[in-house]
Amino acid sequence: MGRPIHDIVPRVSLHSVGWNREEILFFTRHGPFLAYFSRFRIDPTSNCSCGQEGTTLHYATECILTISWHLRKPAEHLQKIWFGRVAANQNSRSKIRALVRHIMNNQELFRLNYSII
């Protein structure tokens, strides 16, 4: 969990950042994401049913199964800054919450054996 969160919240504080469950799952890159499941061999592949790697950034910016909640995709060298800005923006966080709920409620759609192609 350490480095991705440190990039967003660089200082330790006694005050909570105020994230709910879905936001914690997204920003820690844990949870219902195939790249995470594959890393721990819970799922045999990290690929989404659309064919690309099922990372948090993929679902939030380019997966055709989550187009209703897309945010603008950052340039590769700006990804750390992008996560920080998304975490600071209430509208973006609202989209992230809805996105994670959608993935959690429809996990079978995102599995590679449930191909949409």
pLDDT at residue number 110: 86
Task: Say how far apart CA 65 and CA 45 lie, in whole Å.
Answer: 18
Task: Say how far apart CA 12 and CA 50 lie, in whole Å.
Answer: 38
pLDDT single digits (tens) 63-100 = 999 999 999 999 999 998 999 899 999 999 999 999 99
Domain locations along the chain: 18-108
CB 61 within 8 A of CB 73: yes
Q: Which of 58, 41, 1, 49 is nearest to 25 (CA)?
A: 1
Task: Say how far apart CA 92 and CA 60 lie, in whole Å.
Answer: 10
Task: Say how far apart CA 78 and CA 2 lie, in whole Å.
Answer: 19
Task: Say how far apart CA 79 and CA 61 lie, in whole Å.
Answer: 12
> Per-residue pLDDT averaged across 23-47, rounded?
81
Read off the tokens for 108.
């079978």
Average pLDDT of the chain is 83
